[in-house]
Structure 1
Amino acid sequence: MSYPARIHVGITCPPAIGHLNPMMALGQELKQRGHRVTFLQVLDFENPIRASGCDFYAIAPSDYPPGTSANFFANLRNLREPAATRYWFEEQQRVAAIFCRDLPVAIQNLGIDALIVDQNEPAGATVAEYLGLPFVSVSNGLMMQREPDIPPVFTLWSYEKTQWARLRNRMVHGCVNALSRPYSQVLAAYRRKWKLPPLPQGEILYANSKLAQISQQPSVFDFPRSQLPRHFHYVGPLRSPHPQPYSQICSFPFSQLTKQPLIYASLGSLMQNQQVFTCIAAACEGLKAQLVLTHGGSLSDKEAAALPGSPLTVSYAPQRELLARATLTITHAGLNTVLDSLTYGVPMVAVPIAFEQPGIAARIRWTGVGEVIPGDRLSVRGLRSAIQQVLTLRSYGQKALLAKAAIAASGGVTRAADIVEQAIWTGEPVINQSIFNQQTISLESVG
């Protein structure tokens, strides 16, 4: 069978940098293969998208003028659960309505042949169905495929194959369905309007392609699965093999790094919290290690200087360059930071705060690559104890190195692009023959 040499791919994802960065890496890979790639996104992210070499189309510029995303995330940082998740769903409800309203005409006018849709942007999937376009779904955050034995992603629960655990999981999923019902009703209304088949509440919330479902998790960083579709693919982190040098983006004081073991601390881009930063600095004070703390601009120079122990603090840091030198990561359990840490074989102490972070932290604990302290139980004493435990016991580092090897063999952005091309060119499901042969890391497997 002969395939067309060039396709025009549209990409949609939530307006959040943690979802955008992996998609830009995938977009760059497809562009290098000769395809045209257009991001359908809000104005706040025009500059990084164009800098990646991909095309940009502004969605609803009057509804989402520049600064809208920054205001949303500033409000989000002041909320705790369940208010944070409720606020997120309210915004997603608004985004879904606008995407369903504006995307069909935009896609047709741009001449887009197929879509890549973030799993957490189900409006993109509904629009693709309406237009009859092939689409591939990508889980840039923790994969949301539900199974009876898999705990809800918003919980710290571990995997249990028991009737009690299944009942518990089902009850919480029911609560999530109820909390998100206004959001799903927007999508359901458009599906009725466009004469598309109805979807159950647990399915309409997420974009799951019938051609190919891609996750940037490696298979080793998940609970045991038994119900994944045959066209599901664990490919590992989606990262550009040739990233722009950090020095071209902003500066970092590499000369201030000492020869002590490096502890890298980051709370990601969504939920910066001064109290947590203070606790991290106090917990690391006096250790025979250097703490490098990135705060995303949420601390003033005065506040940063007042942190205990005088850590090296910056607004933004070259994460991968620092992880290549790091001994330990302290993280909010955001998936991108966790995957970057495992890519370099660095064990972690996780402090999950909101959204699917507890579910990611539960997998850190399950796979033995780190320790977990829930955000609402965080204390200097407890965090310091966890840090010392991970630094002292060799098993954490050994597990992280096993994960590093698994990630290196997962295929990453190259394999993801192969899957996208095959799905779009053939219009047939891309079958993963090894989907049920995944292995999870356990402490017992290390000699």
Structure 2
Amino acid sequence: MTHFGIICPPFPGHLNPQAALGRELQKRGHRVTFLQIPDVELKVRSEGLNYWPIGQSLYRPGFLAETCEQLGKLSDMEALRYSLDFCRHITEIICEDAPGAIKAAGIEVLLVDQLEPAGETVAEFLGIPFICVSCAQAMHRRADVPPFFTPWSYHNTWWARLRNLAVYYMLDRSSQPILQALNHYRQAWKLPAYRNLYASAARLAHISQQPAAFDFPNTNLPAHFHYTGPFRNASPRSVSFPFERLTGQPLIYASLGSLQNTKHELFQMIAAACEGLDVQLVITHGGGMNAEAVQQLRGSPLVVEYAPQMEVLAKASLTITHGGLNTVLDSLSYGVPLVAIPITFEQPGTGARIRWTGTGEVIGLSSLSVPTLRSTIQRVLTEDSYLQNALRIKQAISQAGGVKRAADIVEQAVKVDRPALKQAALGTRG
């Protein structure tokens, strides 16, 4: 059996799906170890995975919480710019500490999140196999595909290509602190310098937890690239929920994820927009609201700190979300249409895919108001096209294979030490 190491950003949106993939591999007899900063040790262990610390000499405990708190106050490009220093610091920690940790732990193969490119650099330096895993949107760095943080739809025209290339250039310019940190180590390790960020060099396999049906057209993708659908399985952590308080009315599930959940004004607008409608609003705030803020919400929403998301979505008629990919995919896994209010990071790009697939509506922060949100909720709840399109994506997700398919690809790539090709290319299953 193989000892896999996982390198990913220390945020729940990446830790949770990577943990599901890790548990699936463990169930098959493999060993799986997260290489992470000390702040997330308890989180990793609570998911049933092994933990190996990195950054003990460079990382200041509590920096992650401080960063998340500040990011919760910001939106749009401000949040992206603020996150650069944290990402650069994590890049330095991985490059400095991961090589020694990998050797000491006896890790043989790395599973590297696409948003943590330092992991690929370390694998190249050590000469060990690595597989790229996209827990957020898969980034292809193609001229015809809008950058992940833009709200643009897909247009395969000269002007759209030019616009996309210009913004990719701006991304690389603004990300110079991260690129410089990476290239400092790459030069020391006699590896060619990176010119672009998030352009994976994976050759064995690149796995995305999107289904192909929830992405823009991507022709001529490498044979080792795979859309598998979301990575989900039972976590050892249990979350209680007062299901007995559900009224039987159409259920609206509202979540702003783990980084934007302190935006009380958004929760207030959501509650106000649902007030008076024949629906039951369920809000999960992930610790972002105190009792006083909850009491200020209009109507009678059912408010909880955490919820068993999949179980609640199985009863939902609509999801209101900031556009985090995990919540969007969980909703579509149950055929639940969406109203998205993108805030920052990849959320505008996820919103663009909601529009592209017709699975919901998207409201920009600058256009958001209670009347606009209420009318949008009513439209998505009552017009059949949204539900039908969500059910179409549900079917695509059920056929994509999910975490079991992802683990099959990982095992195939490692077993034969060659690219795990698409089923059509191999002419076989698995």
TM-score (norm 2): 0.96
Superposed displacement of residue 26, structure 1: 0.5
Does 421-430 or 366-375 show the bigger shift? Answer: 421-430
Superposed displacement of residue 236, structure 1: 0.1
**Counterpart amino acid of residue 313 in structure 1:** V
Instruction: Tell me the SS of whatever aligns to 2:64.
Output: helix
Aligned equivalents of 2:322, 2:385: Cα separation in 1: 22
Q: 1:261 to 1:208 in 2, by over 3 A?
A: farther
Q: Would you say the 8 A contact 1:117–1:207 is kept in 2? A: no
Superposed displacement of residue 86, structure 1: 1.1
Q: Which one of 208, 212, 219 corresponds to residue 215 of structure 1? A: 208
- 1:130-167 Cα distance to aligned partner (Å, 9 max, x none): 00000001000111111111111111111111111111
Q: Would you say the 8 A contact 2:179–2:194 is kept in 1? A: no
Aligned equivalents of 1:285, 1:276: Cα separation in 2: 14
Aligned equivalents of 2:376, 2:115: Cα separation in 1: 32
Aligned runs of 1:378-417 on 2, under 5 Å? 378-417=368-407
Aligned equivalents of 2:128, 2:28: Cα separation in 1: 21
Instruction: Tell me the SS of whatever aligns to 1:409.
Output: helix
In the alignment, structure 1 residue 107 sits paired with structure 2 residue 102:
yes
Aligned equivalents of 1:27, 1:184: Cα separation in 2: 28
2:53 aligns to what? Answer: 58
Superposed displacement of residue 433, structure 1: 4.5
1:257 aligns to what? Answer: 246
Aligned equivalents of 2:229, 2:239: Cα separation in 1: 27
1:304 aligns to what? Answer: 294
CA RMSD of aligned residues (A): 1.4
Structure 1 residue runs without a partner (length 5+): 1-5, 436-447
- 1:238-270 Cα distance to aligned partner (Å, 9 max, x none): 011x344xxx63432222111111000001011
Q: Would you say the 8 A contact 1:216–1:234 is kept in 2? A: yes
Aligned runs of 1:306-385 on 2, under 5 Å? 306-385=296-375
Does 131-140 or 182-191 show the bigger shift? Answer: 182-191
**Counterpart amino acid of residue 218 in structure 1:** P
In the alignment, structure 1 residue 290 sits paired with structure 2 residue 280:
yes
**Counterpart amino acid of residue 252 in structure 2:** I
Superposed displacement of residue 63, structure 1: 3.5
Q: Which one of 196, 211, 224 corresponds to residue 217 of structure 2? A: 224
Number of equivalenced pairs = 424
In the alignment, structure 1 residue 276 sits paired with structure 2 residue 266:
yes
Instruction: Tell me the SS of whatever aligns to 1:220.
Output: helix
Q: Would you say the 8 A contact 2:254–2:281 is kept in 1? A: yes
**Counterpart amino acid of residue 25 in structure 1:** A
Instruction: Tell me the SS of whatever aligns to 1:233.
Output: strand
Q: Which one of 255, 258, 276 corresponds to residue 266 of structure 1? A: 255
Instruction: Tell me the SS of whatever aligns to 1:10.
Output: strand
**Counterpart amino acid of residue 179 in structure 1:** S
Q: Would you say the 8 A contact 1:184–1:205 is kept in 2? A: no
Q: Would you say the 8 A contact 2:141–2:199 is kept in 1? A: no
Structure 2 residue runs without a partner (length 5+): 426-430
2:113 aligns to what? Answer: 118
Superposed displacement of residue 62, structure 1: 4.2
Aligned equivalents of 1:90, 1:225: Cα separation in 2: 32
Instruction: Tell me the SS of whatever aligns to 1:39.
Output: strand
Aligned equivalents of 1:51, 1:299: Cα separation in 2: 24
Q: Percent identity?
A: 55
TM-score (norm 1): 0.92
